[in-house]
Amino acid sequence: MYMNKNKRNLLLSAAILNIIGMVLLIAFSIIYNVNAEIIPEDFWLMIDVLGYLLGCNVFLFLSIVLVIIRACAGILGSVFLIYTIRKKGKYFRVSQGFYVAGFVITIIAGGTLPWILIFISMFIPDVIVMNTNAELRQEDRMNERQQKEETIIVEQEYEDKKKQIEDLKRLRDNGIISEEEYKQRLFEIL
């Protein structure tokens, strides 16, 4: 299946925001668990609002182990989302297994803003091109054939230039053309 650019951008944004939220979750939890009294109360209110959007307030006051487990799960979901989107031609190819896993993990462990972006991305239609394994192999063979043809063209051009340079060198060595003419024609060839 291929996805369009807007959907890809929404999913990448959700994944990046989720990673930022998980890193903030770990940082704020460490600060809270080490010495929460040094931080003013107004700051904790701002963190609570920010945490609601990015997903770093739910487990903030729990054990640091639970926070790290949630953060690792959130980051893993984001990595799955980022990994699934690969450029293939003019579209972005989606690996279904990692896409679904990243989607579910990000919904479970992520913050509100990534949830909203993922929710919006659900309504953007994909460019649905379901390829069977045979079609994928045929596409790979066509790509290989095209690469071979390009390689052959480059090799032919190389051989042609090599032959022209050898002929030009023979003309110079036999005294038919001068050194300046040789250099000028060599420059034109190269």
Contact predicate 21/114, CB 8 Å: yes
Question: 24 with 64, same domain?
Answer: yes
Locate tokens 């690996």: which residue?
95
Question: 118 with 147, same domain?
Answer: no
Kind of pairing, strands 85-88 and 91-94? antiparallel
pLDDT for 49 equals 67
Confidence of residue 135 (pLDDT cuts 50, 70, 90): confident
Q: Is residue 55 part of a domain?
A: yes
Question: 85 with 35, same domain?
Answer: yes
Last residue of a domain, one of 81, 100, 122: 122
Confidence of residue 143 (pLDDT cuts 50, 70, 90): confident
pLDDT for 88 equals 62
**Does the pLDDT value for residue 60 go beyond 60?**
no
CA pair distance 129, 104, nearest whole angstrom: 23
Q: How far apart are the first and last CA of the chain?
A: 45
Contact predicate 25/117, CB 8 Å: no
Rounded to the nearest integer, the mean pLDDT of the chain is: 78
Section 168-179 average pLDDT:
86
Predicted TM-score (pTM) of the model is: 0.54
Question: 165 with 72, same domain?
Answer: no
Question: 101 with 9, same domain?
Answer: yes
CA pair distance 157, 90, nearest whole angstrom: 29
Q: Is residue 63 part of a domain?
A: yes
Q: Is residue 127 part of a domain?
A: no
Question: 109 with 143, same domain?
Answer: no
Which secondary structure element, helix H or strand E, spans residue 186, and what is its range? helix 179-189
Q: Is residue 18 part of a domain?
A: yes
pLDDT for 130 equals 59
Q: Which two tokens stand for residue 181?
A: 């003419």
Q: Give the gyration radius of the chain's Cα atoms.
A: 29
Last residue of a domain, one of 94, 122, 150: 122
Contact predicate 76/105, CB 8 Å: yes
Question: 170 with 87, same domain?
Answer: no
Question: 101 with 183, same domain?
Answer: no
Locate tokens 């913050």: which residue?
111
* Of 33-37, 72-76, 118-122, 164-168, the least confident: 33-37
Question: 97 with 6, same domain?
Answer: yes
The count of C-alpha atoms lying within 13 angstroms of the C-alpha of 18, restricted to the half-sphere facing its C-beta, is 35
Q: Is residue 34 part of a domain?
A: yes
Question: 13 with 92, same domain?
Answer: yes
Q: Is residue 52 part of a domain?
A: yes
In this prediction, what percent of the chain has a pLDDT beyond 70? 76
Question: 138 with 114, same domain?
Answer: no
**Does the pLDDT value for residue 185 go beyond 70?**
yes
Q: Could you give the angle at which helices 5-35 and 64-84 cross, rounded to 10 degrees?
A: 170
User: 158 lies in which domain range?
Assistant: 133-189
Last residue of a domain, one of 122, 155, 178: 122
| Structural domain total, the chain | 2
Question: 68 with 138, same domain?
Answer: no
Q: Is residue 128 part of a domain?
A: no
CA pair distance 67, 73, nearest whole angstrom: 10
pLDDT for 128 equals 57
